[in-house]
Amino acid sequence: MYANETGLPGGNRHGVDHMSRLPRVVDLTQVPAVPWAWVDERVYSAIRGCSVKVLQNERRLNIGCRFRRINGTSVRYKLGDITAFLESQPGGGGATKPSNLTRRGPGRPRKSLP
């Protein structure tokens, strides 16, 4: 049996146990602040605050930010496209005045008696 990076036996036949690995932390201070820089999907998911799976589903549905596929496997996003996409999304909670909807009361309205 193979030993993993902690020295304990485990993992699959290749010696890597992907399911028990902790997610890698992305340091956004290391990302260059230029619009032509390319970042991978882990960095983009950290910028957006979502999971990588959400980005994969958006790519599958052909929605979301523009991306480039490199060598058929690696996916990269341009920071300029990321900022353009995020600025194009609607912001929430920006009502100019509160809505004056009258509330009838809790529950279902009663049947009227004949």
CA distance 70 to 77: 11
- CB distance 53 to 47 below 8 Å: no
Q: What is the DSSP code (8-state) at residue 66?
A: -
CATH number (domain holding residue 56)? 1.10.1660
Asked, for residue 60, whether it belongs to a domain, the answer is yes
CA distance 46 to 49: 5
Q: Single out the residue of 72, 31, 39 nearest to residue 55, CA to CA.
A: 39
Asked, for residue 84, whether it belongs to a domain, the answer is yes
- pLDDT by 10-residue block (mean), the chain, 114 residues: 52 56 74 85 92 95 93 93 91 67 71 77
- What is the pTM (predicted TM-score) of this model? 0.59
**68: its two tokens:** 């480039």
Asked, for residue 108, whether it belongs to a domain, the answer is no
